[in-house]
Amino acid sequence: MKKRILNQIRVIAVALAGIMLFVAAAKKTITIKGSDTLVILAQRWAEKYMASHSDVVIQVTGGGSGVGISALINGTTDFANASREMKKSEIDKLKQRYNTLGNEIKVAKDGITLYANAANAVDELSLAQIKAIYLAEITNWRDVGGDDAPIVLYGRENSSGTYVYFRDNVLDGNDYSATMQSLPGTAAVVNAVVKDKNGIGYGGAAYAEGIKVIKVKKDASSPGYAPTAASVKSNQYPIARYLYMYSRSKPTGAMKAYVDWILGPEGQELVTKVGYFPVK
């Protein structure tokens, strides 16, 4: 009796394994890796897409734009998510290995958001002030209209595309102050600012929860804007940027279908839902 049950279990196990192998073989797998800014959106896309396209498996991982692009160059991912453009040195490496220049797709727009603690008295900062804060030229909230308290800087690790974009576009290529604490992932930055009443941080708009969003002014006399759909779309928000997906060459087959879906109404609707802004 016992033996029979055991045999039955065996048969079922073998059958199951066979089915799983068959299914795995029939499904097309797309791997996506990179930007932590983009990863929450990419996961939502993948879930929704897989729900209606059962023949495709999409694997999404984060790690930072640099990680994704390195993986694209090393051939371990199909798409690289990036919150910055590919550098020339990276394109050169692609060309060297695959003789392609890479294919860039703008999939969403993001306003880099300045996070402050909910108790912070400061409402808006100009780009020049933000720059001075991150270069540690301004070190007290008092100097930008807040309470008399030291400013504690939070930022991303140097593998982050946001780190590079912020440095090039807000700090004009200057290096961050050494006192900036670099944290892994935007969620960690937001978390730190939630807990630190003197903290300031930056990152994607979609992560802004439980904190105060500081309005950004282009210069001292212009009005301040929060990163909203309207201000990003009209380019009034001064630090808006595109989010990209890179592939080694022009996508075909299942990859192309996925990209088309992302850029279509269904994909772009999810962009707004997650907290970023549609490309068009």
Which residues of the chain form contacts with other proteins (CB under 8 A)?
Answer: 63-64, 66-67, 70, 73-74, 89-90, 93, 150, 152, 157-159, 163-164, 167, 173, 175-176, 178-184, 192, 195-196, 198-199
Q: Please give the full DSSP string across 73-89, using - where no structure is assigned.
A: HHT--SEEEESSPPPHH
Are the C-beta atoms of 164 and 151 separated by less than 8 Å? no
Q: Cβ of residue 128: shortest distance to other proteins, in angstroms?
A: 20
Q: Which is nearer to other proteins, 145 or 150 (CB)?
A: 150
Q: Is the Cβ of residue 161 or residue 238 nearer to other proteins in the bound state?
A: 161
Tokens of 171: 């700090």
Identify residue 158 by its one-letter amino acid code: N
* Residue placing its CB nearer to other proteins in the complex, 102 or 267: 102
**Of 37, 99, 27, 95, the residue nearest 245 (C-alpha):** 37
| Partner residues linked to 266 by β-bridges | none
Nearer to other proteins (CB atom), residue 55 or residue 92? 92
Instruction: Tell the smallest beta-carbon distance from residue 195 to other proteins (Å).
Output: 6
CB 8 to other proteins: min, Å? 36
Label the pairing between strands 124-126 and 212-217.
Answer: parallel
Q: What's the CA gap between 172 and 232, in Å, rounded? A: 21
> Which of residues 123 and 143 has its CB atom nearest to other proteins in the complex?
143
DSSP assignment string, 201-243: EEE-GGG--SSEEEEEESSTTSPEE---HHHHHTT-STTEEEE
Nearest to other proteins of 74, 234 (CB atom) = 74
